[in-house]
Amino acid sequence: MIFKRSLCLTPLRRSAFLFGPRMTGKTFLLRELPADLIIDLLDPELELQLRQSPRLFWEQVSALKDKALVVIDEVQRVPVLLDYVQKGIEEKQLTFVLSGSSARKLKRGGANLLGGRAKDLRLHPLTKEEMREHFDIQEACQFGTLPKVAQCLASRDKNEARSLLRSYVTTYIKEEIQAEALTRNVGAFQRFLQVAIQANAQVIEFANISRECSVPSSTVKEYYSILEDTLLGDFLWPWDRSERKKARPKFYFFDCGVVRAIQNRLNDPPTPAEMGFLFETWFAREIRRLRDYGDKAHEFSFWREGNHEIDLLIMGGRGPLLAIECKTGQKPVSAQTLRTFRTRFPKVPLVVASLHDHAPRRLQTGIELLPWAKVLERYQAL
């Protein structure tokens, strides 16, 4: 089962960074390119060779014809190659596609990020549109949509899907954290990961997480930055004109299946309470995927005022465009929350993305309650 990806790398008009978490299919996309030279830094011998003598890369590049296409997989493993990449772009008009699952080493190591000479692309787990008739919202919330996992589910092999997700956590800790030397205390990071996963899709109290995993708050914030830089998740910050109030964000892990694997919950169906967080996670991530693939200039936040909260605010250059509340149960947005929201945002449409409703409804409060797929269509039309 091969899924057609929304992100198309051909034809490329200029060089590009392609970043995405492990197992999202970066290497598969790269292998489809008509490259004149492929440098696979997952090959340990080649990685060592180029670390010791990076000029060998330039000698290979120099032998290519002008305007050739060069692919470097896992470029963060030998960041010094980026200096020669810039040289190749300027002197030979070469096009480079540079992939990786961690931007951290490049950012923190002062690597040459090519000064705008390369487009920044993101590859995510599969979207609903990419999976087409194989998409099932319940399975997406329970097992996620990593391509190999989705292939197993399409073949009705849930045991293999579970095995892949369990190994993902081990691989991440081993290859991203230990091999990349991102933290000296891997045991403390693993404790943090277990606590952080329980706070997925919830407002984060850094002090509480610090206490539960027995590390300082400053270390907790650093660990979250590792999750961000290795593309395992993103913060969602509250909307507020006062920057000092942005101290309590939410954090969404990038895939529901990985969330449940870290929680060791793959064999159990989600409880109703768990399903609420999983559906919100999947929906928030799906909106991000649609934004990135549609090249939309939108930013996201959530709104919270006192005890009132709306899950997602979509903002354009002139302010909020659409507000979305995710619902798995029967309770809609309360009248009091709606009044408070309307006081703050009198002209911003507010819709409820319902997991279980199959037809649109307009509630007595005037809120539109829509099937979740209809809300995604509404977003794409912005």
pLDDT, tens digit (0-9, with 9 covering 90-100), for 102-159: 766 676 654 566 766 788 899 999 999 999 999 999 999 999 999 999 999 999 999 9
**Residue whose structure tokens are 């057609």:** 4
- Mode of pairing for the β-strands spanning 319-327 and 308-316: antiparallel
Percent residues over pLDDT 70 in the chain: 93
pLDDT, tens digit (0-9, with 9 covering 90-100), for 185-241: 888 888 999 999 999 999 999 999 999 999 999 999 989 988 988 899 999 999 975
Max Cα–Cα distance, the chain, nearest Å: 70
In terms of domains, do 208 and 329 share one?
A: no
In terms of domains, do 238 and 146 share one?
A: yes
CA separation for the pair 93, 90 (Å, rounded):
6
In terms of domains, do 222 and 304 share one?
A: no
In terms of domains, do 114 and 160 share one?
A: no
In terms of domains, do 141 and 265 share one?
A: yes
The 8 Å CB, 24+ separation contacts for 275-278 are 275/141, 275/328, 275/355, 276/326, 276/328, 276/329, 277/200, 277/201, 277/202, 278/141, 278/142, 278/201
pLDDT, tens digit (0-9, with 9 covering 90-100), for 38-55: 999 989 999 999 999 999
pLDDT tier for residue 101 given thresholds of 50, 70 and 90: confident
Residue 117 confidence (pLDDT): 76
CA separation for the pair 67, 65 (Å, rounded):
6
User: Hey, how many other C-beta atoms are within 10 angstroms of the C-beta on 243?
Assistant: 8
DSSP state of 182: -
Does residue 21 lie in a domain region? yes
In terms of domains, do 369 and 349 share one?
A: yes
In terms of domains, do 68 and 115 share one?
A: yes
